[in-house]
Amino acid sequence: MLFHTSLPYKSTILICGILPFFISFFPFPALADAITFSRIDELDKRFQDFSSEYYKTLILQRKKSKTPVFHQLSQLDRTVRQLEEKQQHVEAITLIIYNLDLIRDNTETPSTLYFIKLLLERNELESATNLFDSIQSNSNRVIISNVQYEFAKYHLKRKKWKNTLKYLDGIVADLVMHDAHYALLIKGISLQNLKEHRQAIKVYKQIPNTSKYFAHATLNIAVAYIRQDWWTDAHIAINEILQKSRNKVSNEMANRLFVMLGYSLMRKEYYRNARDAFRSVNLDSHYANQALLGLTLTAASQNDYIGALNAANILKEKADKDLPTEESYLLIPYIYSRLDQHLTASAGFDQAINHYTRRIQELEAILSTNNHLEKRVSIIANNNMLRIDDYELDFSKQYPKSFLENLTALNELERYINNQAIKKIFDRLYADHQATLDEIIRELLNQRISYLSSYTDQSRYGLARIYDSSPE
């Protein structure tokens, strides 16, 4: 068990619910089960093979229609950028591949780096690799290092930590300052995911406090300290950035740091300091609910049950479907029991049991769909969250975001298919992607049910304790 508090029911109640929130501030949670992750990796390779055949077929069709070959790289660059602005990604990639000979003759230009970046973003790995081979033979070290940087980011999306490190090796000095700082950040992230925390700390400390990535690096340093049980060092690192560099940190990053600091302080039973950290989180922040949960727990730990009740009621009234809000249904009757208001506590535990039972039934009804569950899901833009009905599921903590990018790309590629052989391969690949997404959704929903089931058991236990302590 990660946390210890002065609250009762230490085996389960009020403790297991905290765990997912504390871990959520660490950027390095455990990956999905090995089988699912291996399947995603296999699908990624199959996508790359399909993409290669797809564009070869498309290029042959374009040659028959006498699509013009560009003779000036600047013209090609301008046309590709215009297509990208119009979200015509397939057309843009086709033009790049169709004019690879021109690009190979002009490898020492910014356009070449731009084209490789686009190829990797669309997972057209074969063309990107072939172009990189030409660059390695014909370009200078700075150009090669910048291309390696793009390949490092490509592997980072796939959570391929060793590959990311391989491409970052020895290139930082050749990058412009902004890219150099980000390269150090992702190098540290890769090392940290490989559990090389001390080496990661050394890398993070190379990022200056003037960098936009300094706050991210500091956050990750704090995580590395905590992983090694160096709590004091972690608190110092977070406090320094919040006090000395606050004007350089975005509001939401500051909110994240305050919440992480609060839970860390709570873990070490510095409850007053933890409450101060939680109070510093903006009410409109994405982290506001975690802060309210932290305020509830720290106030209860200080026997300030009125303060704990106020925070828990605010959280409950928000009526969100995230785990901090769900936990408020359990916390409120617990607090009333500590105030010796047993009738109110008993009613509250009954309400919590009914609430969690209803939530579990909702989720089980979603799961009861025999197939095509993925068709009910939407992807929340830019943050790799999945929404199904009113529930939001965090995809990116367990799974590589490249999987969702491949799904989006497949939908775009389908519109240009007019070859039966390619269509047959596409249909199998798309169906396997959808089946894997269905499996992932079910896993995430079952995780949510597991938490809610735990809250239900804790509510029943709380109710039983009230009955046991009632006078005959």
Of 68 and 31, the structure prediction assigns the larger pLDDT to: 68
**Residue 360 clears pLDDT 70, i.e. is over it:** yes
- In this structure, what token pair is assigned to residue 380? 């929340």
Taking residues 334-349, report their average pLDDT: 95
Q: What is the spatial distance between Cα 251 and Cα 285, in angstroms, rounded to a whole number?
A: 8
Segment 182-228, tens digit of pLDDT: 999 999 999 999 999 999 999 999 999 889 999 999 999 999 998 88
pLDDT at 5: 28
pLDDT at 19: 35
Q: What is the spatial distance between Cα 272 and Cα 264, in angstroms, rounded to a whole number?
A: 12
**Residue 3 clears pLDDT 80, i.e. is over it:** no
Taking residues 57-67, report their average pLDDT: 78
**Cα torsion for 88, 93, 94, 97, to the nearest 10°?**
160
Q: What's the pLDDT band for 395 if we cut at 50, 70, 90?
A: confident
Q: Half-sphere exposure of 316 toward its Cβ, with a 13 Å CA cutoff?
A: 18
pLDDT at 66: 64
**Residue 15 clears pLDDT 70, i.e. is over it:** no
**Residue 393 clears pLDDT 80, i.e. is over it:** yes
Of 330 and 27, the structure prediction assigns the larger pLDDT to: 330
pLDDT at 206: 97
Taking residues 164-168, report their average pLDDT: 98
3-state secondary structure of 321: coil
Segment 74-90, tens digit of pLDDT: 999 999 999 999 999 99
Q: Pick the range with the lowest mean pLDDT from 105-119, 203-217, 308-322, 394-408.
A: 394-408
Q: 380 has which bridge partners?
A: 385
Phi, psi at 230, each rounded to 5°: -100, 70
pLDDT at 147: 96
pLDDT at 247: 74
The percent of residues in the chain predicted with pLDDT above 70, rounded, is 90
Of 37 and 303, the structure prediction assigns the larger pLDDT to: 303
pLDDT at 52: 95
pLDDT at 382: 62
**Cα torsion for 97, 102, 105, 107, to the nearest 10°?**
-50
What average pLDDT does the chain have? 87
CB 262 within 8 A of CB 274: yes
Q: What's the pLDDT band for 67 if we cut at 50, 70, 90?
A: low
Residue 196 identity (one-letter amino acid): E
Distances (CA, A) of 281 to 237, 251, 303, 309: 18, 9, 22, 18
Return the H-helix or E-strand segment holding 386: strand 385-388
Distances (CA, A) of 469 to 10, 257, 342, 462, 465: 18, 41, 9, 11, 6
pLDDT at 25: 40
Q: Pick the range with the lowest mean pLDDT from 59-68, 139-148, 273-282.
A: 59-68
**Residue 304 clears pLDDT 50, i.e. is over it:** yes
Of 245 and 388, the structure prediction assigns the larger pLDDT to: 388
Sorted by sequence, the CB contacts under 8 Å of residue 297 that are 6+ apart come out as: 5, 7, 14, 18, 266, 308, 331
**Residue 233 clears pLDDT 70, i.e. is over it:** yes
Q: What is the spatial distance between Cα 159 and Cα 161, in angstroms, rounded to a whole number?
A: 6
**Any idea which residue has 């068990």 for tokens?**
1
Q: Pick the range with the lowest mean pLDDT from 2-6, 54-58, 345-349.
A: 2-6
**Residue 472 clears pLDDT 70, i.e. is over it:** no
Sorted by sequence, the CB contacts under 8 Å of residue 404 that are 6+ apart come out as: 379, 384, 395
Q: What is the spatial distance between Cα 22 and Cα 5, in angstroms, rounded to a whole number?
A: 14
Sorted by sequence, the CB contacts under 8 Å of residue 169 that are 6+ apart come out as: none
Structural domains of the chain ordered from first start: 68-158 (1.25.40), 159-249 (1.25.40)
Taking residues 116-144, report their average pLDDT: 94
Q: What is the spatial distance between Cα 459 and Cα 451, in angstroms, rounded to a whole number?
A: 12
Among 51, 31, 41, 88, which Cα is nearest to 402's? 41
CB 95 within 8 A of CB 58: no
Sorted by sequence, the CB contacts under 8 Å of residue 273 that are 6+ apart come out as: 265
The percent of residues in the chain predicted with pLDDT above 90, rounded, is 67
CB 407 within 8 A of CB 399: no
Of 467 and 80, the structure prediction assigns the larger pLDDT to: 80
**Residue 280 clears pLDDT 60, i.e. is over it:** yes
CB 222 within 8 A of CB 214: no
**Residue 357 clears pLDDT 80, i.e. is over it:** yes
First to last CA, the chain: 36
Q: What's the pLDDT band for 57 if we cut at 50, 70, 90?
A: very high
**Helices (H) and strands (E) in the chain — how many of each?**
21, 3
DSSP calls for 55-96: HHHHHHHHHHTTPPPPS-HHHHHHHHHHHHHTT-HHHHHHHH
Q: Half-sphere exposure of 267 toward its Cβ, with a 13 Å CA cutoff?
A: 21
pLDDT at 8: 31
